[in-house]
Amino acid sequence: MSFPKATLPGAIRVVICDYNSLLQSVSGLLRMSGYSVFQAYNGQAAVELCAELQGIGLLVLNTEGTGMDTPALVRSIRTSSPGLPVLHIGTAPIPGMPFDVVHLAESFNAEQLLETVCALVPGHLVAQR
């Protein structure tokens, strides 16, 4: 499989909240695809990271290990990063999530993940030759 590469100078910054095996896989795939990935070990770390880093393009999370109410976590992060695209990966959508949070089932494959990320951060990827 060939992976797309970020085409902008300075890769798109992605914050991934939590550090379980699923999100480790997501981190690796996004890094191989040219994204600059920052790992936050829990919800509070994600809030702080998003507030400190400039130019975050995407937040990826799931419901395990955030240590916070997930909808509240998204709202908190968006106080410092309004309109930040969010991808939730889990077994089912979470009630109370902001309407624009995209859900991806945990049974995704690499192509589904990259297509979803590309849709959330449009215009930043091209297929690698």
User: pLDDT tens across 64-78, in order?
Assistant: 656 678 899 999 999
Report the CATH number that the domain containing residue 66 is assigned in CATH. 3.40.50.2300
Asked if residue 38 is part of any domain, the answer here is: yes
Number of folded domains that form the chain: 1
In contact, 37 and 31? CB cutoff 8 Å = yes
Asked if residue 5 is part of any domain, the answer here is: no
Asked if residue 53 is part of any domain, the answer here is: yes
The most distant pair of C-alpha atoms in the chain lies apart, rounded to whole Å, by 42
Q: Which domain, by its residues, includes 39?
A: 11-120
User: pLDDT tens across 10-52, in order?
Assistant: 567 888 776 678 888 898 999 898 888 988 888 888 899 888 8
Asked if residue 6 is part of any domain, the answer here is: no
Asked if residue 15 is part of any domain, the answer here is: yes
